[in-house]
Structures are given as C-alpha cells and as structure tokens.
Amino acid sequence: QVQLVESGGGLVQPGGSLRLSCAASGNVLSLYAMGWYRQAPGKQRELVAGFTGDGSTNYADSVKGRFTISKDKAKNTVYLQMNSLKPEDTALYYCNALGAAVGGTSVSHWGQGTQVTVSS
C-alpha cells in the first residue's frame, strides 16, 4: 500500500505564493509517476502538474509559467510551488501517484487533499 499526505494549503491573496508538499510512504518503490490535481466546486478534477514515467514534467496551460513541480527522491516527496496565484486557482489540491501492480497493470493512489483559497 501507498500513503500520500499533502500539506501546505491555505488562504493567500491574489499574487501570492504557496508551496504544497506530498510525502509518500509505504510501497514507494512501486511508484513511477506523481503529480498534482485540483478540483474546484462544480468542476471536474484536472491535472495541474506532474512527472511522467520517464521523469519529464507536464503542466496545465493555465498554470504554465506560474507553478513548478519538483521532487526530493530521498524524502519521497513531491512539491508544487505556486506563484502569482489567482482566484481561479482556488480548489482542493490532490496528490496522485501511479504505481506498478501485478500483471503489468497500474494502480492510482490519492491523498486526502489540501485546500487552496486565493482571495483578497
């Protein structure tokens, strides 16, 4: 099993910054991709930023140039640095990790979510 624990959310004014952290524990050796998703009220969950299986990164168009995903392998932790935050970034942010499973399949793990609210 894999556990993902997010932290770092909160209330910030427009133009401000936050850094989210996601610490993975358990069967971390099975993980091959990690990323951040978000879900705003009344909207579908969407990918914000992520590391793919080959280590490359991808970002939602709406956050390119403002958000940066990074990782610390020694700590099994992924970070999301969010700068120039906008009210439309307000959402519940989830950490996601993909792990290899028996038979060549994949299993998706989710954290509990951390709330980010951008408001003056």
The predicted-structure confidence for 41-82, as pLDDT tens digits, reads as follows: 999 999 999 998 888 999 999 999 999 999 999 999 999 999
Cα-to-chain-centroid distance, residue 30 = 18
Query: What's residue 60's pLDDT?
Result: 98
Tell me the pairing of strands 31-39 and 2-7. Answer: unpaired
